[in-house]
């Protein structure tokens, strides 16, 4: 599993793609923040950039990123299937270097997987996937969100000092971009929730108007009729309202539009 690895100290950024690599990395992240349709797409592309930026000839890295958000499912993205499978394994057994890095908020370096005894079940699976060493770098995000960058090398001692420093520096930069991406996603979710609430309110108000016209009753009385129908049929209020409207409108679609 072990291969020779160039441990000569390079200029920063020459781990993988040298020179303007750091500047390119920042530009890529800026583009991803602006163009990604959701958090998962942003994370997937970021993981691919990490792997490309930090890999060297003879030491092709895989990268996974795990993000924990309040009241949201765990977000897992990866540069390839190997990183995806290893990240999913950690999340399923709730044990491994990357989860330890998340929990302790400290970097975890497994220099030689064969010699490491801390996570026996996970290490065995990683070894079977031809992994020689692992580096897990936590991201410093706005609370309560948490994230970790998981780097996998096929070589034992695949992360020399300069490689670790480069990974830590890139993770710090990526954390700032991820914070922005998460804030944008939160605003999108809030917008969608508000739009859904406004649509439901409009449907309910319209149904109340129909009941008032048909039953010649007050608004409060019409609303109580709607509530009782919802409770009796065990159907959401907005769905009962939609059924009343469809009984009047037939196959015509009831549209609600709002300025964003």
User: What DSSP string runs through 243-260?
Assistant: HHHHHHHTTS--------
Q: Furthest-apart CA pair in the chain: how many Å?
A: 87
Write out pLDDT tens, residues 25-67.
Answer: 877 788 887 777 788 898 999 999 999 999 999 999 999 999 9
Q: And the tokens for 144?
A: 């309560």
* Burial classification of residue 57, based on how many CB atoms lie within 10 Å of its CB (0-12 exposed, 13-18 middle, 19 or more buried): exposed
Write out pLDDT tens, residues 190-234.
Answer: 666 676 777 778 888 888 998 998 889 999 999 999 999 888 888
In order of start, what are the domains of the chain with their CATH numbers? Answer: 21-188 (3.30.450.80), 194-249 (1.10.10.10)
Q: Are 67 and 43 in contact (CB under 8 A)?
A: yes
Could you tell me which residues come within 8 angstroms of residue 25 by beta carbon, excluding any fewer than 6 positions away?
49, 53, 170, 173
Per the prediction, the chain carries an average pLDDT of 83
Write out pLDDT tens, residues 110-158.
Answer: 999 999 999 999 999 999 999 999 999 999 988 888 999 999 999 999 9
Query: What is d(CA 224, CA 228) in angstroms, rounded to the nearest whole number?
Result: 6
Query: What is d(CA 38, CA 108) in angstroms, rounded to the nearest whole number?
Result: 28
Query: What is d(CA 123, CA 177) in angstroms, rounded to the nearest whole number?
Result: 31
Query: What is d(CA 241, CA 207) in angstroms, rounded to the nearest whole number?
Result: 5
């Amino acid at each position: 599993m072990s291969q020779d690895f160039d441990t000569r100290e390079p200029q920063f950024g020459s781990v993988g793609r040298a020179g303007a690599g750091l500047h390119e990395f920042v530009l890529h992240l800026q583009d991803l923040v602006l163009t990604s349709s959701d958090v998962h797409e942003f994370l997937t592309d970021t993981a691919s950039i990490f792997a490309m930026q930090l890999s060297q000839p003879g030491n092709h890295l895989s990268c996974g990123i795990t993000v924990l958000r309040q009241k949201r499912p765990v977000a897992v993205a990866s540069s390839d299937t190997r990183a995806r499978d290893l990240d999913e394994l950690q999340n399923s057994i709730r044990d491994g270097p990357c989860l330890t890095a998340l929990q302790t908020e400290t970097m975890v370096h497994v220099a030689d997987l064969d010699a490491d005894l801390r996570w026996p079940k996970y290490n065995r699976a990683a070894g079977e996937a031809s992994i020689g060493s692992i580096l897990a770098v936590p991201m410093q995000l706005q609370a309560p969100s948490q994230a970790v960058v998981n780097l996998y090398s096929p070589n034992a001692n695949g992360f020399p000092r300069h490689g670790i420093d480069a990974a830590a520096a890139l993770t710090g930069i990526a954390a700032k971009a991820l914070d922005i991406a998460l804030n944008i996603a939160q605003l999108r979710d809030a917008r969608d929730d508000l739009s859904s609430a406004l649509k439901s309110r409009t449907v309910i108000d319209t149904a109340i108007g129909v009941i008032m016209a048909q039953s010649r009753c007050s608004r409060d009385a019409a609303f109580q009729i709607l509530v009782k129908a919802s409770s009796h049929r065990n159907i959401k209020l907005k769905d009962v309202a939609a059924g009343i409207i469809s009984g009047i409108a037939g196959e015509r679609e009831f549209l609600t539009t709002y300025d964003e």
